[in-house]
C-alpha cells in the first residue's frame, strides 16, 4: 500500500507538472526538484520518460474506450447515446482533468510504435462516435449533415473543456455544463 501510495503520488505530481510545462519541456530534473528528491530516484518509479507519457495516455484512452463500448452496446436511442457520450466526456474532465489535457495536447510526443497504436485507438474512438451519429441520421433523428464534418465538429465541442480546465478549478457545476453543451449540440445557437 505505502509502495503504491508513493508511486501514485509521484505520478500525480508529474502529471501536473507535465501539464503546466508540456511534456517535452518538462525535464527529469524538473520532476525531481518538484518532488524534492534526487534525479536518479525517479528511475525507481519509472523505466523512462517516454514510458511515463505512455502510461498516462493509454490509461485514459482505455477509460474512454471502456465507457464508449458500454454506451454503444446498450439498447438506447442514438440521441440517448450521444447524450451519454457528452456526459462521459464531462465526467472524465471533472475526475481527471490533467490526464484529459495530456490526451489532447501531448499524444504527438509518443514515439513509434506506440504512436501508431495510439493513433489507431484514437481513430477507432472517432469511428465509434461517427457510427452513433450515422445511425441517428439514418433514423431521421439527426440532421443529414456531412458525416465527417458532423462527427469532428461534435467532438470538438467537447474538447475546449480540457483546455480551459487545466490548472484552474472547475467553477461551473458539471451537470450544468452537460446541460448547456447538450443543448448547443442538439439545437444549435439560433432560435427558430
Partner DNA sequence: TATTTACATGAACACTTGTTCATGTAAATA
Partner DNA sequence: TATTTACATGAACAAGTGTTCATGTAAATA
| 37 touches, from its own copies, DNA, none (C-beta below 5 to 8 Å by class) | DNA
Site string for DNA, 10-39 (x = CB under 7 A): ----------------xxxx-------xxx
Sign of the dihedral defined by the CA atoms of residues 153, 154, 155, 156, in that order = positive
CA distance linking residue 162 with residue 167, whole number of Å: 10
Whether the upstream peptide bond of residue 113 has omega within 30° of 0, thus cis, is yes
* Piece of 49-57, 65-73, 112-120, 155-163 that binds its own copies (CB under 8 A): 155-163
Q: How many residues of this chain interact with DNA, rule: CB under 7 A?
A: 20
**Chosen residue from 34, 50, 131, 182 binding DNA by CB under 7 A:** 50
Check binding of 82 to its own copies (CB under 8 A): yes
Q: How many residues of this chain interact with its own copies, rule: CB under 8 A?
A: 44
Count of Cβ atoms closer than 10 Å to residue 132 Cβ? 23
Check binding of 3 to DNA (CB under 7 A): yes
**Minimum CB distance to its own copies smaller for 13 or for 105:** 105
Joined grid coordinates for residue 112? 513509434
Check binding of 40 to its own copies (CB under 8 A): no
**Minimum CB distance to its own copies smaller for 31 or for 150:** 150
Joined grid coordinates for residue 74? 446498450
Residues in the chain: 192
Sign of the dihedral defined by the CA atoms of residues 81, 157, 180, 66, in that order = positive
- Per the CB < 8 A criterion, the answer to whether 162 and 93 are in contact is yes
Cα angle 70, 71, 72 (rounded to 5 degrees) comes to 95
Residues contributing to the site for its own copies (CB under 8 A): 22, 24-25, 79, 82, 105, 108-109, 133, 136, 140-143, 145-146, 148-150, 152-160, 164, 172, 176-177, 180-181, 183-192
Amino acid at each position: 500500500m505505502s509502495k503504491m501510495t508513493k508511486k501514485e503520488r509521484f505520478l500525480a505530481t508529474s502529471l501536473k507538472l507535465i501539464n503546466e510545462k508540456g511534456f517535452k519541456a518538462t525535464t527529469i530534473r524538473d520532476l525531481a526538484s518538484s518532488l524534492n528528491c534526487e534525479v536518479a530516484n525517479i528511475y525507481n518509479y519509472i523505466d523512462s520518460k517516454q514510458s511515463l507519457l505512455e502510461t498516462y495516455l493509454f490509461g485514459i484512452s482505455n477509460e474512454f474506450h471502456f465507457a464508449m463500448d458500454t454506451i454503444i452496446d446498450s439498447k438506447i436511442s442514438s440521441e440517448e447515446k450521444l447524450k451519454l457520450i457528452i456526459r462521459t466526456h464531462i465526467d472524465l474532465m471533472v475526475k481527471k482533468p490533467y490526464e484529459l489535457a495530456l490526451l489532447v495536447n501531448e499524444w504527438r510526443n509518443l514515439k513509434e510504435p506506440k504512436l501508431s497504436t495510439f493513433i489507431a485507438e484514437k481513430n477507432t474512438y472517432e469511428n465509434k462516435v461517427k457510427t452513433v451519429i450515422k445511425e441517428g441520421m439514418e433514423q431521421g433523428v439527426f440532421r443529414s449533415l456531412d458525416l465527417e464534418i458532423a462527427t469532428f465538429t461534435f467532438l470538438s465541442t467537447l474538447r475546449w473543456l480540457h483546455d480551459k480546465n487545466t490548472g484552474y478549478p472547475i467553477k461551473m457545476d458539471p451537470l450544468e455544463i452537460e446541460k448547456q453543451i447538450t443543448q448547443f449540440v442538439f439545437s444549435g445557437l439560433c432560435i427558430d
